[in-house]
Structure 1
């Protein structure tokens, strides 16, 4: 049996964005109750530069393109959901990406790397120091995820996140996309961005453990420079795990699924309807 083309998605404000092989669609429930769907043809830079499809490179490209599409969809959904402001321009999207990356570097690189010096007196082995720093990074990451999950508005977004996963599960199972069929499925999915971020944390801990313990600025610089490598390795792991039935692999991705219990909530039927419309708009036509 031929595998179905991969469809991915993202929860947005009062809606869901889905990306298929040829199209990306954002479905949003407007305050009036109407569901509006914006569909655009999408093409990856890898189609123009095939070398970017190579392992490691494709992960960095996929992450960058997902960030851009995600920000555009968030901007569109905010406008339709009644938030103030207009859709972001390309320049504003770029500035938002730069700011987000900078904030991530501060939270998950600079703070744990700088804080690790306070345990230097009790631990002297460079590898153990780097592992301790990685532990701090993981704690900050988990605290951040848990903290935002307590926000009321985010909890509703996480319901749409659950609707997105349920709908993709139904699609991958070959079922008709009805609310009843979709609601039977799990809100947890192995290819989720939450699982990807957890793998990024784990890969970074392992990789950075072997970098020694130079001056603070060199430690920070080495981690920033290696971020694309970490992202590339993590992407290959999540891509393989998402299509593997190997028992060991399925066990290895369990922590990523458990973490999704925080970032996904059970959706109501109306939220599932939005996710279904988004996926229907990008679903590849059946091959005869």
Structure 2
């Protein structure tokens, strides 16, 4: 399911790029083929290099000589987490990203409202929180923390072997983090589980913003076809229905 989600996310990002590149009233633009996949590959390489390989290399130089695997792994994890938090904080100053984060908040509010059985109108949805237990931000924080434990036994003096082990173990770390997210989301009301997921919920303050009502209308309209695919029909408010109408025309 993790790989299905990643594949769907990649396709959605490419479709979003097509839409953003299309000028109003102009011909559709296809951001696909070698250019698209080169962009995706470059982005993934940048993320892996910045958040996995760089901390591994830095930890080798910063950890005291003769340090055990646990200490080096902790130093590596602290560096990785610091880079991750600094990155999220820094991009939050970009106007376009702030707008994306507001839509992210609208998405969370809408899902929270739906799962609570509330009426899906912008005014009703706006009352809900922008934090959600199954958010990708929480997933990434879990990846950062779980990697400390998973990487600890694989302590090599040879830097190349250390880097290679990190690359090979990324799918393992991601898989464990994904299963933890599913497990914790289903038991979020339990006090122990709630304590474990609270850091991830707090971190979402960096990746979400309070949305405007039109953003919530858009999120409600986007939820409709997703639920329809599962045979669930919802009644949209008039404004959200108007947003949906051009797509089906």
**TM-score interval w.r.t. the shorter chain?**
0.7 to 0.9
The runs of 5 or more residues in structure 2 that have no matched partner are: 234-249
Q: Partner of 2:158 in structure 1?
A: 215
Counterparts of 1:1-288 in structure 2, within 5 Å, are 58-59=1-2, 61-79=3-21, 86-121=29-64, 124-244=67-187, 245-284=189-228, 285-286=231-232
Give yes or no for contact 1:160–1:271 (8 Å, CA) kept in 2: yes
Compared CA separation, residues 63 and 202, structure 1 to 2 (3 A) = farther
Structure having the higher strand fraction is: 1
TM-aligned CA deviation for residue 79 of structure 1 = 3.2
What is the CA–CA distance in structure 2 between the aligned matches of 1:243 and 1:120, rounded to whole Å?
Answer: 38
Structure having the higher helix fraction is: 2
What is the CA–CA distance in structure 2 between the aligned matches of 1:253 and 1:111, rounded to whole Å?
Answer: 27
TM-score after normalising by structure 2: 0.84
Greater alpha carbon shift after TM alignment, 73-82 vs 123-132? 73-82
Compared CA separation, residues 256 and 105, structure 1 to 2 (3 A) = same
Compared CA separation, residues 251 and 266, structure 1 to 2 (3 A) = same
The one-character-per-residue Cα deviations of 1:152-199 (angstroms, maximum 9, x if unpaired) are 111111110000000111111122211111101000001011111101
Give yes or no for contact 2:102–2:210 (8 Å, CA) kept in 1: yes
What is the CA–CA distance in structure 2 between the aligned matches of 1:267 and 1:108, rounded to whole Å?
Answer: 29
Aligned residue-pair number: 228
What is the CA–CA distance in structure 1 between the aligned matches of 2:22 and 2:181, rounded to whole Å?
Answer: 33
Give the RMSD, CA atoms, in angstroms.
Answer: 2.1
Give yes or no for contact 1:71–1:93 (8 Å, CA) kept in 2: no
Compared CA separation, residues 167 and 225, structure 1 to 2 (3 A) = same
Q: Partner of 2:246 in structure 1?
A: none
Give yes or no for contact 1:130–1:213 (8 Å, CA) kept in 2: no
The runs of 5 or more residues in structure 1 that have no matched partner are: 1-57
The one-character-per-residue Cα deviations of 1:113-155 (angstroms, maximum 9, x if unpaired) are 1111222435622220121111111111111111111111111
TM-aligned CA deviation for residue 111 of structure 1 = 1.2
Higher relative contact order (CA 8 A, sep 6+): 1
TM-score after normalising by structure 1: 0.74
Q: Once superposed, which parts of structure 1, at least 4 consecutive aligned residues long, lie more than 6 Å away?
A: none
